[in-house]
Amino acid sequence: MSTPHPASLPPQPAVLGAARLRVDYVRASLDGLLADGRVLAVFGFGAGAPARHDDPRYLRVNLQPDGAAPFEVWRVDGQVSADRRGGIATAVGGGLAFGAIEVDEAPAGGIAVAAEAAYDRLCGWLADNGFGHVQKAWNYIDAITEGDGDAERYRQFCVGRERGLRGRWPRYPAATAIGCHDGRRVLQVYWLAAREPGTPLENPRQVSAFRYPRQYGPQPPGFTRALLPASPALPLLISGTAAVVGHASMHAGDLAAQFDEVFRNLDSLLLVARAERPGLPAAFGADSPLRVYVRRQEDLPAVRARLARHLPDHVPRLLLVGEVCRRELLVEIDGFHR
Ligand code: 3EB
C-alpha cells in the first residue's frame, strides 16, 4: 500500500494517538525500570522497598506486602519527563500525568489541614500544567480510623480534601483511601490525570459515596466508584471496593462473606462499565492488575485462598496489609481493567 500524502489523510480515528497506559507488577531492579523513558511511575511497597529515589517517578507506599512484593510499573506511549519541585513529584508523557505529594501532618496542623493543603496544591499543579482531569487519586493515611465520631481521622481527611478542592473539580475521580501504620503521620496522595474528562461510574448496588448520609461524617467522601477514561486505550479505573451495600457495611468480622460481597460489587461495576464500553472484557484477566488491601496480616493466607476461588491465576494481584476506612471492613480491592 502506498503512503498517502499527509494532506490527503482522512481524519484519524480517535484511538490513534490516544493516551495509553499499561500497568504491570514486575520483579526487576528499580534502576533498570527507571531507565525506560516510557515509564510514568514505579511503586514500591513496604519496608523492603527503597524508601526513595532521585527519580521523581518512584514512590514507596508504606503498606506491607504479602511476602516479597514486585514493583508496580505504569508505562505510557511516549517519552516521559519528570520533575520534582515544591514538594510535588510529577511525570508527564503519552498524554497522561502522574503526580505525588506528601504532606507532614504536624506542621500542617492535623490531617484535615494536611488533606486541604495536598488537594489545593494538586489542583494548582493541574491548572498550571493543562491536566484538568484527575482520573483517579490514591490516598494513604496513617492510623485512618483513629479518633471517635466526627473526629475520626478518615472523616477529617474527607473534610480537608473537600476544602482543598474548593469546588474546582466538576466531577469526582475514582479513588482509594487506605490506612497504613508507619507512624509517620504523613499524608500521601498520588494521582493519574488526563487532558480530557472521563466518565464517572456509579454502582447500582451502592449509594454514591458523595451522597452517604450524615452518620458517616460531616463531609461525604468525594469519589466515584469507577472512572472510564475518554481514551479507549486507557483501562477502567476501579475505586477501592469494599463490602458496602447501599451505604451500610455488610458482614462485620466475616472475611469470607465480605469477600463475596466485594466481588458482587465488582461484578456489578463491570456491568455498568460494559454498558458504556461494550469492548471491555466481562471478567478480570491478564490486563486487570488488582490490589487487595487486607486489614489483618493474619488473614493473608485466607485471602490468598479466597482470591483463588474468585479470580483465574492469570489475573495479576498484589496483597497489601492496609486498613479500610471503616473499622468493621476487613478487605478492599481496587485496580485497573481492560
Ligand atoms: C467505601 O465504599 C469504602 O474516601 O476516597 C473507598 C474508596 C472508600 C475511596 C475515599 C473511600 C474512598 O466507602 C471506602
The residue ranges of every structural domain in the chain are 17-337
| Percentage above 90 pLDDT, the chain | 93
Indicate which atom in ligand 1 lies nearest the CA of residue 324.
Answer: 14
Pocket of ligand 1 (CB under 6 A): 139, 175-177, 209, 221, 223, 239-240, 242, 244, 325
The residue-averaged pLDDT of 214-222 equals 98
Q: Which atom of ligand 1 is nearest to the CA of 158?
A: 4
> Which residue's CA is the closest to the ligand 1 atom numbered 11?
177
Scan for cell 496489609, then name that residue.
321
Which residue owns the Cα nearest ligand 1 atom 14?
325
Q: From ligand 1's centre to the CA of 15, what distance in Å? A: 31
Asked if 60 contacts 42 with a C-beta cutoff of 8 angstroms, the reply is no
Question: If you take atom 6 of ligand 1, which residue's CA is the nearest one?
Answer: 240
Question: Which pLDDT band, with edges at 50, 70 and 90, does 170 fall under?
Answer: confident
The answer to whether residue 102 is catalytic is no
Instruction: Examine the pLDDT at 71 and tell me if it is beyond 70.
Output: yes
CATH superfamily of 17-337: RutC-like (3.30.1330.40)
* Nearest residue (CA) to ligand 1, atom 9: 176
Q: Distance, CA 325 to ligand 1 centroid (Å)?
A: 7
Report residue 8's pLDDT band, with 50, 70 and 90 as the boundaries. Answer: very low
Averaged pLDDT score across all residues of the chain: 94
pLDDT value for 18: 83
Say what the pLDDT of residue 169 is.
Answer: 92
Residue whose CA is at the smallest distance from ligand 1 atom 3: 242
pLDDT band at 230 (very low <50, low <70, confident <90, very high): very high
Judge contact between 21 and 76, C-beta under 8 A: yes
Among residues 189, 241, 174, 175, the alpha carbon closest in space to that of 61 is found at 189
- Provide the grid cell at 144: 485512618
What ligand 1 atom has the least distance to the C-alpha of 244?
2
What is the whole-number distance in angstroms between the Cα of residue 223 and the centre of ligand 1?
7
Positive/negative CA dihedral, 332, 172, 112, 82 = positive
* 316-324 average pLDDT score: 98
**ipTM exceeding cut-off 0.95 for this assembly:** yes
